[in-house]
Structure formats: structure tokens, C-alpha cells
Amino acid sequence: MHSSHERSLRAFLDRLCSRSALTVEEKQAVLDLPGTAIQVRPNRDFVPLGKRVDHSCLVVSGVVGRFKQDRDGRRQIVMLHIPGDMCDLHSVVEPVATSALQALSNATILQVPHEPIRAAAARFPALSLALWRDCMVDSAIMAEWVMNVGRRDARERVAHVLCEMAIRLGSGEQGNEVSFELPITQAHVADATALTPVHVNRTLQALRAEGLLEWKSGRVHLYQWQQLKHAAQFDPGYLFANMKPVRGGGERSAVEFHRQDASAIVVT
Amino acid sequence: MHSSHERSLRAFLDRLCSRSALTVEEKQAVLDLPGTAIQVRPNRDFVPLGKRVDHSCLVVSGVVGRFKQDRDGRRQIVMLHIPGDMCDLHSVVEPVATSALQALSNATILQVPHEPIRAAAARFPALSLALWRDCMVDSAIMAEWVMNVGRRDARERVAHVLCEMAIRLGSGEQGNEVSFELPITQAHVADATALTPVHVNRTLQALRAEGLLEWKSGRVHLYQWQQLKHAAQFDPGYLFANMKPVRGGGERSAVEFHRQDASAIVVT
DNA sequence: CGCCCTATTGAGCAACTTCAAGTACTGTGG
DNA sequence: CCACAGTACTTGAAGTTGCTCAATAGGGCG
């Protein structure tokens, strides 16, 4: 029991540490957070719209979507969350949910109460900044999604989402090829890209026909990573993957500044 | 000189205090922040994409847009910022800009260096949470924009943006009527709603023909607020306006919980 | 084997775009 | 005070992308 709980928190800690340098004590404070694991069914809100919550939801396994819905039933996924994401971290400072959370596949969620998170943040200012920073990466992703859904055509949109998932899941590239598990349906892709399921289907067929990808039984193969990136107009800078973790706010000496600037946030 | 500088910071402090309860010392720490005011020309980046910045930009006057652009020149505004917004606050924890900042009208910006902000945040944990919370409101707005641009039709999109601006600008309602200054062009609305300028024009004409609004020489009149809200499917909860400011993370006793829940974030 | 969910296909349609021209502001200099 | 220039706004007609509706095929599981 306890070991799986700690493994889940470690995934979250790894996420934090990929962008923020933390001390041993700060890391331990994260690993010491309490939490209760729950199983959630696909396609049912586990955090409904407008709900005031007193815990954040760490995705342990599965894929989670943040949903908006209007009175006509039109749905939009505004964010996808993968294992290691604290999909609800913002609720630490703003506990009223402005979008619903729903699993897209069977998923395990670790509910981490806000109080201990706030206590740790208050005790370690650098940890507070790390959590804040994590939220800002999600924010940068949503900004990119506004662009994706607003200005790109169907082909670019679908390709872009897949490129993003490839990077966020840390899929190992082998040459020009990338592959990863993505246990979601075409209808979910439609909700994420603001297309209809029918059109997502046709778009995927076209990409498949070009030999750019394959997607069956929950596994995506991107056969021509460079070409797909280009087709999607995908520039991974906004994901802040592969960056050098920074301590505190990211302040740096003039020397460091020059040394690092050229290679900042470059992901091939 | 100094009095205008302090007035600008006070606008930002008011924004913070509308959602976060701060002590006198914390408030003073905000007002004591240094900054240099600059004038920026419309339609030219004052923070370019990919730039590493060491200050945040407080909008003193005018309207500022966060822009994404692709290699074909298609543009998307992912966020609008109004006076009192620290449009760049996220750069305190993530100094590399993933979108460009551009004024839409003549604007005055107060550049506030990161270092003193971080120092104040480290000294006052509640202030740190308040800043974080402010960023999360922007994040909630962007989530709503994904929905706006993704799933709503032209009429709803345009109406929704105007409703949002009405609330954020704190426009006084008189009965069913709202009015506010919005010094931006139809082309900017097109960039924000992911439409073409031509179609924005036609959409505004239709709304005007219905008697829902008037927009001339930079002033917007919404004549039928309730009807427009309905037409836009606008629910202002995501703006966290008119909420009761919370201390720290927003933790509350069970008693408070019940007392407040019913009236939380209700904006008519 | 049969059910349910997901994926696929086809045909007609609608919303929004594109291109291209023309009109009305707004501010500036004479 | 008017003429001019530049920007913003408006109009029309034709073209496309993606939607809607509806039906069929495939795949996993009890």
C-alpha cells in the first residue's frame, strides 16, 4: 500500500524536478504528502464543474481530461493529463473547479489534501515556486491549445496533439520514429481538437495514408517524427521539457545567462 | 513621477486583493516594488516570442494582447490584458516567453523586476499564494477561451469576449445596460476569436441589428446584458470576480464552508 | 454468439473564408 | 477649416473546410 503511494508521489516529484531544482528536504516534503488512491471510471466526472475541493488529484495511471461543456451539450477538452500530472494543482490556491475532470480510460487517482501541500509550500518557498511553475507549464499548454483549436486546420490540430503527447509522455525516439501508449478514443481526440469524431477519423486516415502514423489498440506509432512536427507546426518550446532545472525563481548570473541562452528549451 | 508609479502598483494590488486577503505589511511590500514606466506603440511586440525576461509587465493603461503566430502568419490572441493586470506575472517563475506581448492601443507599461517580486514572495508566503492565484485566474480564462474558440459559433464567440471584458473591466451595470471603453479594432477581435475580420464585422452588424450592442469610437455599449450573456452562453464563474478574498490558500472551517458555499462566485 | 462501443463511409449542407473593391473615419499639415 | 493620407470598416460573390445525418463494418468481451 504505502510503497505504491510513494511511487505515485515520486512520479509527481520527478515532474517537478524536471524544471525546478529542489533540496533533499524539499523533495522529502513532497514524498511525505499524504493521499488516498481511488479508481475512477472512464467518461464520468470525478470532479464536477463548480465543485469546491479540498484535495488535488494526482494522476497515477490512465489519461484524464479537463472538460468544458455548454447547455447544448457541446464539449471541449481544454487539457489532457497524463501519469505524474497533478491535474488539479491549481485548486490549492483556487479550490472552486471551473472545469470538470473526467478520466478517458480506466485511471487511478491519488487524492492529495490541500492542507499539507500548503504547509509544505509555506515552509519551503522554493517548493512553492516549483508548484507555481508547474501550474504555469499547464497554462502555457492551454495557450498553445487556443492557437491549435483557433487557427490550425484539422490535419495540423490532430498532428499537434499527438506531437505534444509524444513529448510529454517522454516517448523514446528511435531515429525518426516515436511510439507511445494513448488509451483514448477518436471521439476524445475530437473533444480535444474541436472537431467532430467523423472528421477526426478522416484526418487520421489521411495521416495514416501518408505513412506518418499508425494507431491501433491504444498504441500510437509516429513513423516520421520530423515530418509530423512540420505538418503540425509543432514547436515544443512551450512544454519546457528537457530544460535545465532552476533553483527558486530561475534567477541567474550574467555568466550563466550567456552560457545557457543558446541551448535553452531546445527539444529536437 | 513617483505618485503615478505608486498609483499603477495600487491598481495591481487592488486586483490581488479582490481575491486574496493580504495584511498591511504584505500590501506595503507590493506597493514598495520598483518599476520603470515605458510607452509602447500598438501592434509591435514589446516582449518577443522566446525572449528571456527579468521583469514582469504591469499594464498601466491601454489594452495588451498575448499573441501566438505560425509560419504562415496566422495569428491568435490567447489572452487580453487590461489595466491593473500584471500580464507577464508568470515570467517570475518561468522567464522564457512562450507567446509575444503586443499592445493593441497606445499603452503604458510598468516594468517590475523579478528579483524584488521573488524576494517579497519568499518573505510573505501568503503573498506568494496570492500571486500564484492571480496566475491561475488567467489560466482559467485561457481554458474558457479554448472552449470559446473551439466550440462556439461566431456570434457566441464575439459576444462572449465582450461579456468577459465587461466583467473584467468592472463596468457598472445600469439596469440591463453595460458600457465600457475598449480601444481595439475589429481585426483584434478577429485575432482573439479565431475568425476573420470580415466575419467579425458581419457578426457585430448582426448583434447591432438585434439591438444587443453598439460600438463606436472605442466605446462599447451592451444594451441587453441578460440577453447577451445568454446569447454568448456566458457564465462568469471562471473570472472569480466578486468573490470574497481568501487568506492564504482559501482554507476554511466547516462552519464557514456552509455559510459561504451558496453564494460563492456568483456574478449576475 | 450476440451485444455494445468504436471506427468507417457517403452524400448533402452550412458556416465561415477568401478575394476584391469601395466607403467612412481620424488625425495631420497646410 | 479643409484637403489628404492612412487606417478601419463595410459590402458582395464565390469557394472550402468541416459538419450533419445516417447507415455499415469491425472488435473485444461476457
Q: What is the spatial distance between Cα A79 and Cα B232, in angstroms, rounded to a whole number? A: 22
Phi, psi for residue A177 in degrees, rounded to 5: -120, 140
How many angstroms separate the CA atoms of A232 and A225, rounded? 10
The 3 state secondary structure assigned to B18-42 is: CCECCCHHHHHHHHCCCCEEEEECE
What is the distance in angstroms measured between the alpha-carbon CA of A188 and the sugar C1' of D23?
A: 22
Lowest mean pLDDT among A206-210, B2-6, B145-149: B2-6
Can you tell me the distance from the alpha carbon of B219 to that of A33, in angstroms, rounded to the nearest whole number?
51
Q: How far apart are CA B172 and CA B179, in angstroms?
A: 7
Task: Give the three cell numbers for residue A173.
Answer: 525516439
Provide the chain A residues 225-254 that lie in CB contact (below 8 A) with chain B. Answer: 233, 237-238, 240, 248-251
Model confidence pLDDT, tens digit, residues A139-169: 999 999 999 999 999 999 999 999 999 999 9
| Substitution target from B124, B136, B256 for chain A, most A beta carbons within 10 A | B136
Residue B76 contacts A where some CB pair is shorter than 8 Å = yes
Residue of A nearest to B145 (CA): A146
Which string of b and e fits B22-50 if b means at least 16 CB within 10 Å? beeebbebbeebebeeeebebeeebbebe
Cα separation values, B107 from B59, B171, B263, Å: 8, 20, 36
Query: How far is residue A132's CA from residue A136's CA, in Å, rounded to a whole number?
Result: 6
For A40-88, how does the pLDDT look when each residue is reduced to its tens digit (9 = 90+)? 999 999 999 999 999 999 999 999 999 999 999 999 999 999 999 999 9
Cα distance between residue B115 and residue B123, in whole Å: 12
In tens digits, chain A (268 residues) has pLDDT values of 556 789 999 999 999 999 999 999 999 999 999 999 999 999 999 999 999 999 999 999 999 999 999 999 999 999 999 999 999 999 999 999 999 999 999 999 999 999 999 999 999 999 999 999 999 999 999 999 999 999 999 999 999 999 999 999 998 788 899 999 999 999 999 999 999 999 999 999 999 999 999 999 899 999 999 999 999 999 999 999 988 999 877 665 444 433 333 333 333 3
How far off is chain B from A221, nearest CA to CA, in Å? 26
As a rounded value in angstroms, the CA-to-C1' distance for A73 and C14 is: 20
Q: DSSP letter string over A239-263?
A: GTTTPPPEETT----HHHHHHHHTT
The integer distance in angstroms from the CA atom of B154 to the C1' atom of D12 is 20
Q: Say which DSSP state B91 is in.
A: G
Verify whether the Cβ–Cβ distance A74 to B50 is below 8 Å.
Answer: no
How far off is chain B from A43, nearest CA to CA, in Å? 19
**How far apart are alpha carbons A87 and B171 in whole angstroms?**
34
Q: Is B177 on the interface with A (CB under 8 A)?
A: no
Residue A170, chain B, CB below 8 Å: the answer is no
Within an 8 Å CB–CB cutoff, is residue B29 touching chain A? Answer: no
CA–C1' gap, B101 and D2, in angstroms? 39
Q: Scanning every residue of chain A, which has its alpha carbon at the shortest distance from the alpha carbon of B261?
A: A52
Residues of B in Cβ contact (< 8 Å) with A263: none
Strand D atom within 7 Å of A21 CB? no
Q: Mean pLDDT, to the nearest integer, of B209-216? A: 96
Give B114→chain A minimum CA distance, Å. 8
Q: Please give the single-letter amino acid code of residue A56.
A: S
User: Which grid coordinates are listed for B233?
Assistant: 452562453
- Compute the distance between CA of residue A64 and CA of residue A104 in angstroms, rounded to an integer: 6
What is residue A234's three-state secondary structure?
coil
Residue A249: its pLDDT value, please?
73
* Strand D contact at CB of residue B186, distance < 7 A: yes
Q: Do the Cβ atoms of A237 and B79 come within 8 Å? A: no
- Test the A interface: residue of B53, B93, B137 with most A CBs within 10 Å: B93
Contact B132, A136 (CB under 8 A): no
Nucleotide lying nearest to A202, CA to C1' measure: C8
- What is the helix (H) or strand (E) element at residue A91, kind and residue range? none
Interface residue A258 vs chain B (CB under 8 A): no
Distance, Å, B101 CA → D7 C1': 22
* Nearest-Cα residue of chain B relative to residue A133: B93
The C-alpha cell that represents B53 in the structure block: 525576461
Give A90 CA → C20 C1' in Å.
49
Indicate yes or no: CB of A142 within 8 angstroms of CB of B146: yes
Interatomic separation, CA of residue B18 and C1' of nucleotide C5, rounded (Å): 48
Q: What is the DSSP letter of B265?
A: T
Do the strands A20-21 and A246-247 form a parallel or antiparallel pair, or are they unpaired?
A: parallel
Question: To which H or E segment does residue B222 belong?
Answer: strand B219-222
Tell me which residues of chain A, numbers 188 to 227, contact chain B at a CB-CB cutoff of 8 Å: 193-194
DSSP A27: H
pLDDT band at B64 (very low <50, low <70, confident <90, very high): very high
**What pLDDT score does B165 carry?**
98
Q: Does B15 touch chain A (CB under 8 A)?
A: no
What is the side-by-side strand order in the sheet with B36-40?
Answer: B36-40, B107-113, B55-61
Give the closest-approach CA distance of B237 to chain A in angstroms.
7
Query: What is the helix (H) or strand (E) element at residue A105, kind and residue range?
Result: none
B151:A95 CB<8 A: no
Rounded distance between C-alpha atoms, residue A21 and residue A251, angstroms: 12
Please, which pLDDT band fits residue B63 given cuts at 50, 70 and 90?
very high
Residue with the larger pLDDT of the pair B153 and B252: B153
- Kindly report the number of other CB atoms within 10 A of residue A233's CB atom: 18
Strand (E) or helix (H) holding A75: strand A75-81
* Chain C: bases < 7 Å from a protein Cβ: 5-11, 15-20, 25-26
Q: Is A265 on the interface with B (CB under 8 A)?
A: yes
